[in-house]
Amino acid sequence: LFQIVADQTGKLFDPEVLTMVWARRYAGYKRADLITRDLERFEALVRNQDRPIQIIWAGKPYPNDDNAIGIFNSLVHLSKRYKNVAVVTGYEISLSKALKQGSDVWLNNPRLPREASGTSGMTAAMNGSVNLSTLDGWIPEFAKHGHNAFVVPKADMNWPVEQQDEFDRVNIMKVLEDEILPRYYNQPDEWRQTAWNSMREVVLYFDSDRMADEYYQKLYAMAPAVNSMQEAY
């Protein structure tokens, strides 16, 4: 992953520094730029030398989605200010794999209730990347805060969009600064356990073996009973 960052941006990332990735399709409700909207606080985060962080964005906007293209362009422009912030392009299978294998934290911050699932977070967890997420998509079925993931409180969906976004941004930054970074740097054994919990438990819930077994138990295993009922009539 860091070789890809170096090749595309010329920046040399440090494997000992916590690396957070946001990677998926650029779309307005997915809010790729959410943590950058308070620039002063974002700068304090990325310039912190005591608990450093590296941030990578990756993904593709749809060609006709002007809002998403604008978000992408603004992040590219912003990333040029910082040696530890990068936007990488060419989001295909090989890059997706590298991002999931090379990240420590997988940032997922869609605006509720827009996210249908979120399979990138599942596969990131399978590779030991710990999800930091809003409670949308697949996350409510899986996440136990501080145990296998980090989640932020739910914004009131009746609030104006701007208020929801600000609520989520503040809480994401709070969890990142007050919980994730201290655990990663000050409690490495606890951090490794969190990553291990994430890897182990996501497979139990979301691999295809469980899905196929559940289909069999709930649908195909009913076939004898259905046949008996049909014969009775």
pLDDT tens, 17-35?
999 999 999 999 999 999 9
Long-range contacts of 149-153 (CB under 8 A, 24+ apart): 149/125, 149/198, 150/175, 150/179, 150/180, 151/175
As a whole number of Å, the end-to-end CA separation of the chain is 63
Work out how many domains the chain is built from and give that number. Answer: 1
Give per-residue pLDDT as tens, 99-130. Answer: 999 999 999 999 999 887 888 999 999 999 99
pLDDT at residue 232 is higher than 90: no
pLDDT at 124: 97
pTM for the structure as a whole: 0.90
Three state DSSP letters for 169-209? HHHHHHHHHHHHHHHHHHCHHHHHHHHHHHHHHHHHHHCHH
Confidence label for 98 from pLDDT (cuts 50, 70 and 90): very high
Q: What is the DSSP letter of 64?
A: T
Say whether pLDDT at 48 is over 80: yes
DSSP label of 38: S
Handedness of CA 194, 199, 200, 205 (dihedral sign): positive
Local structure of 122: helix, strand or coil: helix
Instruction: Please report the pLDDT score of residue 229 as a whole number.
Output: 54
Q: What is the mean pLDDT of residues 6-27?
A: 97
CATH number at residue 197: 3.40.50.2000
As a whole number of angstroms, the distance between CA 226 and CA 23 comes to 45
Q: What is the rounded CA–CA span in Å between residue 127 and residue 181?
A: 19
pLDDT at 228 over 70: no
Task: Give the pLDDT score at 224.
Answer: 63
Is residue 9 very low, low, confident or very high in pLDDT (cuts 50, 70, 90)? very high
Residue 123 is part of which domain span?
2-232
User: How confident is the model at residue 215, as a pLDDT?
Assistant: 80
pLDDT tens, position by position, 132-165: 999 999 999 999 999 999 999 999 999 999 999 9
Coil, helix or strand at residue 69: helix
Contact 132, 107 (CB under 8 A): yes
- The reported pLDDT for the residue numbered 118 is 82
pLDDT bucket at 222, cuts 50 / 70 / 90: low
Q: Please report the pLDDT score of residue 190 as a whole number.
A: 99
- Which structure tokens are listed for 232? 């009775």
Q: Which has the higher per-residue pLDDT, 95 or 217?
A: 95
Distance CA 113, CA 182 (A): 30
pLDDT for 161-220, tens place per residue? Answer: 999 999 999 999 999 999 999 999 999 999 999 999 999 999 987 778 877 888 878 877
Closest C-alpha among 45, 26, 59, 82 to residue 170: 45
Quote the pLDDT of residue 230.
Answer: 59
